[in-house]
Amino acid sequence: MHAVLTTWRLRASGCRLQASGCALRARGFALLAAAAFVACGGGSAQTGSSASSGAAAPETTSGGKSNVSIDINRIFPPGPGRELVLNNCTSCHTFVPIVILQMTKEAWERNRRDHTDRVAGLSEAEKDTLYEYVTANFNPDHPVPKLPKELLKTWTSY
């Protein structure tokens, strides 16, 4: 439910995601909200996606409100585990803490222990894939991706 409310808040602020590939066909956080509903129902299937490069430029609507576009492939590089992260972790919070924290392997292992009951629908193999992905892509050796302030405002606690 939190993901749905966060989605509504982001859409109201004019923030939207832009990505290509079969896994992320829809624009905006509507996709992440749908993924959250699937995750709550135990859906843990992982689908492939194709990579695209280049970030989209901000746009301005006729009302003067800025629509911020981001390239989800630059923030979450395509690879095994990405869809598991986007379809499961965002059922409790936005992806912002995952991206910003850049945790060590030990911290991700602690996170896995602390979050096991929150992703009870995932098999151990799926959890392995998910945590291999975040450990490889969101660690202190990687720069923190730049996120629009509209997304940074979605940082939440449980």
Is 100 domain-assigned? yes
Query: Residues of the chain with pLDDT > 70: what percent?
Result: 55
Model confidence pLDDT, tens digit, residues 87-146:
999 888 888 999 999 999 999 999 999 998 988 899 999 999 999 999 999 999 999 988
DSSP secondary structure, 54-99, as one string: -PPPPEE-TTSPEEEEEEHHHHS-SSTTHHHHHHHGGGTS-SHHHH
Range of the domain at 113: 2-152
Is 145 domain-assigned? yes
Is 157 domain-assigned? no
Is 158 domain-assigned? no
Overall number of domains in the chain? 1
pTM of the model: 0.58
What pLDDT does residue 147 have?
Answer: 87
Is 134 domain-assigned? yes
Model confidence pLDDT, tens digit, residues 22-36:
333 333 333 333 333
Sign of CA dihedral 14, 21, 100, 118: positive
Nearest of 64, 68, 65, 88 to residue 76 by alpha carbon: 88
Phi first, then psi, for residue 94 (nearest 5°) are -70, 175
